Amino acid sequence: MHPIQSIGYPVHFQNSLPEIKNFISNGNYSKIFVLADSNTEKHCLPLLQPYLPENYDIIEIDPGEENKNIDFCIGVWKNLLDFNAERNSLLINLGGGVITDMGGFAASTFKRGIDFIQVPTTLLAQVDASVGGKTGIDMDHVKNIIGTFTQPKAVFIDSAFLKTLEDCQLVSGYAEMIKHGLIADKKYFDQLKTADPLNIDPALVYRSVEIKNQVITADPHEKGKRKILNFGHTIGHAVESCSLTDKINPLLHGEAIAIGMICESYLSHKINGLIDVELQEVTNAIIKLFPISPITTNNDDLLAVMKNDKKNDNQRIGFALLTKIGECSYDNFVEEDLIVKSLDFYRNLIK
C-alpha cells in the first residue's frame, strides 16, 4: 500500500515499522523518547524496538481515557525535563488514542514544540486519532477541550499491532470506520456492514484513513467541512464522558460513539432529510455490530456536557448530521427537547 500524503507528512501502512528506522536516521535528532502506557510498553514496544536506536528513553503513563488529563500531561513534561529533552528531540507516541492525543499535545507545547510521530497500536487510533493533527486532553469530564492543531512528522500504521488487542478494542475502533462510511461513502458502509470487526482487512483501514485525510486536507483547522467527522460525537462524547465516572465498567470510545450515531441518525431523520428506510438501515447495522449498552446518565447531566462541546455556537448545541447514507452536513443546531427525544429513541430500541 502506498503511503497517503496528509498535511505535510506521510501516513505509512502495512509493514511500516522498518520505515521508522529510516525516518529517525534521516532526522538527526539529539534525543529519542517513546511515550507508552503500561499495556503498549509490554505488548507493542517489543515490535517497535528492533527499529529504534540503541539509546532512547521510555516515558510510561497509566492506560485509560480517565488519565488523559493535565496531571498526567505534566508528568510527561517533567519526564522530558528530567531526561534533558532538547528542542531537537523526537517523541514517538506508541499507543491508542489517549497516547496519540496527549503525546501530541505534550510535544506541541514542550519548549514551544518538539517533533513527534504517531505509531497507533489500536484500530481506533489507526483510523482516527493518529491522523489529522488534533492533539488534546480532557478536563472536568469534557473530552479534548484543551488542545492544539499540530501535525505529526509522520504516522506509521502497522496491522501487526492489532493482534495485541482484545476483541472489544477492535469493535470500538470499528465505530469510527462505520462513521467514515456513513458520512462519505455508502459503498464503503455497505462493505463494513458485512465485514468482520475481529478480522480487519488492511484495505478497509486504508480506506478509512483515505476518507479522513480527504476531509482534513480540505479543512485542516475545522472551520467547515472537517466538522462532518464529528457525526455521532456530540451525543457520543457526552455519553462517554459521563460513563467515565463508572470506575468498574466505563464505556469504550467506540461503544459510546455507536450510541451517538444512532441518536444522531434519529436527529438526521427528523431535521436533515435522512429517510426512514435509511434510519432503520443505520440503526440495524449498529445494533448488529456493537454491544448495546443502556444510557444510565440522566438527560440533564448529558445535556450539561453537550453544552460545553467545541462545536457549539452562541449557546446552541451543534451537530454533524446525515442527509443520506454517504453524505453529511455540519452546523446543524438542535433544540434540547429534540435531543432528549433522540436519547429516548435509543433507549426504546434496546428495551
The catalytic residue positions are: 112, 134, 176, 212, 222, 226, 230, 233, 237, 253
> Is residue 247 within 8 Å of residue 304, measured between CB atoms?
no
Q: For residues 294 and 262, what is the distance between their CA atoms, to the nearest angstrom?
A: 13
Number of Cβ within 10 Å of residue 288's Cβ equals 9
Strands (E), 96-140: 115-120, 134-139
197: cell is 470487526
Contact 80, 106 (CB under 8 A): yes
Please name the residue that has the C-alpha cell 510521530.
117
Q: Do 100 and 34 form a contact (C-beta atoms < 8 A)?
A: no
> Do 230 and 243 touch, CB atoms closer than 8 A?
no
Joined grid coordinates for residue 29: 535528532
Look-up: residue for cell 483515505? 210
- For 185, phi then psi, to 5°, come to -160, 95
| N residues, the chain | 351
Cα 251–Cα 255–Cα 258 angle in degrees, nearest 5? 145
Strand partners, 31: 89
Question: How many CB atoms within 10 Å of residue 163?
Answer: 8
Instruction: Reduce the DSSP state of residue 47 to 3 states and report it.
Output: helix
Report the half-sphere exposure of 285 (CA within 13 A, side-chain side).
26
